[in-house]
A and B are shown apart, each in its own frame.
Chain A
Amino acid sequence: MQKLLLIVLLLIGTNAISQTTKIIRGKVITTNKLDKKSALPGAKIRWVNDANVAVSDVNGKFTIKNENLPDTIKISFTGYETLTYWVTDASQELDFDLKQGNILDGVEVIAKNRGKSIDLISATGVEHIGEDELRKAACCNLSESFETNASVDVNITDAVSGAKKIQMLGLDGVYTQLQWENIPLVRGLSTSYGLSFTPGTWIESIQITKGTGSVVNGYESMAGMINLEIKKPTESERFYVNLYGNKFGRAEVNFHGAQMLNKKWSTMSFIHYSNQLFESDVNNDGFRDMPIGSIIALMNRWSYQGDKMEAKFGVKATYGDKMGGQLKSQPNDVASGLWNAKMNTEHVELFSKTGFYLKNRPSGSIGLISQWKYHHMNNVFGNSSYDGTQKKGYLNVMYGDIIRNTNHNIKTGLSMTVDNYNQVYNDSNFVKTEIVPGAFAEYTYNSLDKLILVLGVRGDYHNLYGPLFAPRFHGKYNFSKRNALRISVGRGYRVPNPYADFMSQMASNRKWIVNPNLTPEDGVTSGITFTQKFLTNDHVSTFSVDYFYTHFLNQLIIDMDVDPNEIHIYNTNSTSFSHSVQAELTIKPYKVLELRGAFKYYNVQATYNNELQQKAFVPKYRVLLNIGYESRNKKWLVDVTGNWVGRKRLPSTATNPEIYQRAEISDDYWLLNSQITYNFKKFSVYIGGENLLNVIQKNAIISSNDPFGTYFDATQIWAPISGANVYIGLHYSLKQKK
């Protein structure tokens, strides 16, 4: 009797559970460009609030459970646009027609996010910076776009050129691969000033990956990979204007316009003009804090969406003319006896991306990327001069497909890079042509997005340095729906470009002692990242911690420690490494408020002047704090960012005469920036301040009163050289009619 009762109770119990568990049936189809419908097997089906997942079968059919109805269902398939649908009950069968999306877009944007986010799905741990986050720091170009981001540090390179460089894992920006929509961006001669040639308003979003990236993009990413998505003709504003002006006389104008010509064709044009109108010298050293002069950047891009293929192509051109150095100095004006720096850049680039759908294999696609580039740079720093020309051709062909089902994915292809360099430094001429054919294959195992393993191999043959072999591995596992553990290991290389890579070092009278037989740098980077999301007051907060270790097998050392009047550039295979730890917490206590704090530790050491020591100008500790407020009606945006930069080791100047000696360890300091934006219906205005605590490095330039003397050095920069800045600006945009 008791047993019977138990069984009855159990039955009632299971019945109660089965009442809440609903089974939803449906079918996934796709309509091709010729309006023919066909079943889509292998599509992923998942819920927003429920852990159940499913995959569509050979006939496109699926069944999926849900315990939490009503819920939002998401249907996705690589290369197709993701569909979402609000499901209230299980009674009806659901049909989904997935549209073929852009096969060319390098990044699969999992959720359209306008702020900053780290997803839990991708294998490489991509940090996504959206448009809203980019607008928090309104000025001015790519080098300033990372201001509120903890993974990328930005530093001023010298006290003359006004150029900035990035750093990831405590390693110089040259070890980070930069690309836009998978096309190489800052490389070769553009390494030193390239960041300032991409205006901030052109950028739609930025994806940051720490450690080595995918083999598909080349052998170069060692410390990290940064990809930019530039605004696209189909999604951008019909017309957009941005005006900007700051206290130090910098003025900028940006225009873009996009047009959908018909269903297949669309085009977009960009114009950027910036000018440093007058000279300023806040630190009173007789030198311009920022060079005067202008940059003009233009771009025109086209997009074609056809039945069997799609294409994106266009042209980009940049002209920059800047003059730094002593106040009132002019280029080529020897009679005045003033020290002047002239930086002149011309850059023209043609690019194209073509993607083909395969008739018989909806899952397969072929993609072709090509780039043709001319870059010319003419620089004069005091008595030294540099003239360099780079001609480049790049081709990448890739085939992507699934093996049997979407659990197994393969990408394979070939690439070819040809670079011709002609550089003249003072009286020495350097000519070289690099021809690098390469092949790659990348296999991805994906088990319902929970476990993803990516194994890539890449082999390139460099005509000057022989074979370069780069194996890479990325793995990800979700212990629960709210966290992700990622592991990556990979080998990367970088072929150095003497002179062009160290342009900022020209702002000194140090004698360059360059080993004539430089070899490619070679390193292994491994890392582990853990990300946990949690709810605070129903809002998503994120905690993330990572550790990365780069071990150089061969590194190019820029050694300023041998002698304060010399700079030694040579390869070394003695110990050189970087350990970096970053912990970051983003909390959203209320809908309108977001707080972010990050702590970073960099132990970056190499042998300088025969002694293993911390790399100069890299602080051991850094802290980033950010407060973001957005009013509930989205009219007011307030952002405050504080960056604490710890003490840095500086190259020794002990053998200089006493007045030209500097401390061997820098002070720590806080950099405080803030911006307030008010949105009107069609336009927005903003006012902001940078370096609000007015931190200035005193006597930044060594021997500024004798710039032609032996001891002159404007490269020992570890803090801002000009004081607090105030800027204002406006955005105006007209949306496209769809």
Chain B
Amino acid sequence: MKNLGILLVGLVLVSGLFSVEKQPKVKTVEILTSSVCGDCKDRIETELNYTKGVIFSELNLETKIVTVKYKTKVLSENDIKVVIANLGYDAGETKRNDEAFGNLPKCCQSEGHCAR
């Protein structure tokens, strides 16, 4: 009986250990971007939605935070930041690709001067 108890506790512990080690298959991250307007929102969401492994992405213009749900087996949070940076926007601590930034429409480069 005592042994059984120990066994059970052991099992729980082991399974607990496993669940800690095991990466969840799907993860949701929130990344602060340097987006300014509706154009930027379209650009970032479309690029991410058609990136392999991304389930969906939504950018809130008021907070500039993009929420991304993705498959951890296919890509990492850092990969997502690189995708955003390559479009010309800062993504968290990842700095924007300056060349891509230069190719953005004028309105997406200067804050507060967007039509929408």
Inter-chain contact B45/A112, CB cutoff 8 Å: no
- Mark out the residues of chain B between 36 and 50 whose CB falls within 8 Å of any chain A CB in the assembled complex: 37-38, 45-46, 49-50
Of A48, A72, A82, A634, which is within 8 A of B49 by CB? A634
Inter-chain contact A81/B115, CB cutoff 8 Å: yes
B93 to chain A, nearest CB (A): 20
Interface flags for B44-86 (1: CB within 8 Å of A; 0: not) read 0110011000111110011010000100000000000000000
Inter-chain contact A83/B113, CB cutoff 8 Å: yes
A632 proximal to B (CB < 8 A): yes
Interface flags for A312-349 (1: CB within 8 Å of B; 0: not) read 00000000000000000000000000000000000000
A635 proximal to B (CB < 8 A): yes
Give the CA-CA distance A99 to B114 in the complex, in Å.
10
A633 proximal to B (CB < 8 A): yes
Give the CA-CA distance A634 to B54 in the complex, in Å.
12
B105 proximal to A (CB < 8 A): yes
A96 proximal to B (CB < 8 A): yes
Give the CA-CA distance A99 to B116 in the complex, in Å.
13
Inter-chain contact B112/A96, CB cutoff 8 Å: yes
B74 to chain A, nearest CB (A): 14
A515 proximal to B (CB < 8 A): no
- Beyond A86-B62, A681-B46, whether A633 also contacts B56 by CB under 8 A is yes
Task: Return chain B residues, CB-CB under 8 Å to A465.
Answer: none
- Beyond A112-B38, A633-B49, A681-B46, whether A82 also contacts B115 by CB under 8 A is yes
Inter-chain contact A633/B55, CB cutoff 8 Å: yes
Inter-chain contact A112/B46, CB cutoff 8 Å: no
Task: Return chain B residues, CB-CB under 8 Å to A634.
Answer: 45-46, 49, 56
Inter-chain contact B57/A633, CB cutoff 8 Å: yes
Inter-chain contact A631/B50, CB cutoff 8 Å: no
Residue of A nearest to B114 (CB): A84
Residue of A nearest to B105 (CB): A738
Interface size class of B (residues with CB under 8 A): 20 to 34
Task: Return chain B residues, CB-CB under 8 Å to A84.
Answer: 37, 112, 114, 116
A427 to chain B, nearest CB (A): 59
Of A83, A96, A632, which is within 8 A of B56 by CB? A632
Give the CA-CA distance A738 to B108 in the complex, in Å.
11
Task: Return chain B residues, CB-CB under 8 Å to A112.
Answer: 38, 116
A67 proximal to B (CB < 8 A): no
Task: Return chain A residues, CB-CB under 8 Å to B98.
Answer: none
A683 proximal to B (CB < 8 A): no
A546 proximal to B (CB < 8 A): no
A70 to chain B, nearest CB (A): 8
Inter-chain contact A635/B49, CB cutoff 8 Å: yes
A97 proximal to B (CB < 8 A): yes
- Mark out the residues of chain A between 78 and 120 whose CB falls within 8 Å of any chain B CB in the assembled complex: 81-86, 94, 96-97, 99, 112
B43 to chain A, nearest CB (A): 10
Residue of A nearest to B108 (CB): A738
- Beyond A72-B62, A86-B62, A738-B105, whether A97 also contacts B55 by CB under 8 A is no
Residue of B nearest to A98 (CB): B113
B64 to chain A, nearest CB (A): 8
Inter-chain contact B50/A632, CB cutoff 8 Å: no
Inter-chain contact B114/A83, CB cutoff 8 Å: yes
Give the CA-CA distance A371 to B63 in the complex, in Å.
47
| Residue of A72, A86, A112 with most chain B CB atoms under a 10 A cut-off | A86
Residue of A nearest to B49 (CB): A633
Task: Return chain A residues, CB-CB under 8 Å to B50.
Answer: 681
Give the CA-CA distance A592 to B29 in the complex, in Å.
19
| Residue of B54, B58, B64, B115 with most chain A CB atoms under a 10 A cut-off | B115
Inter-chain contact A85/B105, CB cutoff 8 Å: no
Residue of A nearest to B106 (CB): A738
A357 to chain B, nearest CB (A): 19
Inter-chain contact A631/B114, CB cutoff 8 Å: no
Inter-chain contact A83/B54, CB cutoff 8 Å: no
Task: Return chain A residues, CB-CB under 8 Å to B49.
Answer: 633-635
Interface flags for A612-653 (1: CB within 8 Å of B; 0: not) read 000000000000000000011111000000000000000000
Give the CA-CA distance A416 to B28 in the complex, in Å.
62
A678 to chain B, nearest CB (A): 12
B71 to chain A, nearest CB (A): 13
Give the CA-CA distance A48 to B113 in the complex, in Å.
17
Inter-chain contact B105/A632, CB cutoff 8 Å: no
Task: Return chain A residues, CB-CB under 8 Å to B116.
Answer: 82, 84, 112
Task: Return chain A residues, CB-CB under 8 Å to B115.
Answer: 81-83, 99
Task: Return chain A residues, CB-CB under 8 Å to B58.
Answer: 632
Task: Return chain B residues, CB-CB under 8 Å to A681.
Answer: 46, 50
A554 to chain B, nearest CB (A): 46
Give the CA-CA distance A112 to B105 in the complex, in Å.
19
Task: Return chain A residues, CB-CB under 8 Å to B61.
Answer: 72, 86
Interface flags for A727-738 (1: CB within 8 Å of B; 0: not) read 000000000001
21 A-B residue pairings within 8 Å (CB atoms): A48-B62, A70-B62, A72-B61, A82-B115, A84-B116, A86-B61, A86-B62, A94-B112, A97-B113, A99-B115, A112-B116, A631-B56, A632-B55, A632-B56, A632-B69, A633-B49, A633-B55, A633-B56, A634-B45, A634-B49, A738-B106
Binding site for A on B (CB under 8 A): 37-38, 45-46, 49-50, 54-58, 61-62, 64, 69, 105-106, 111-116
Contacts A83-B113, A86-B62, A94-B112 given; 8 further ones with Cβ under 8 A? Answer: A72-B62, A83-B114, A84-B37, A84-B116, A85-B112, A86-B112, A633-B55, A738-B105
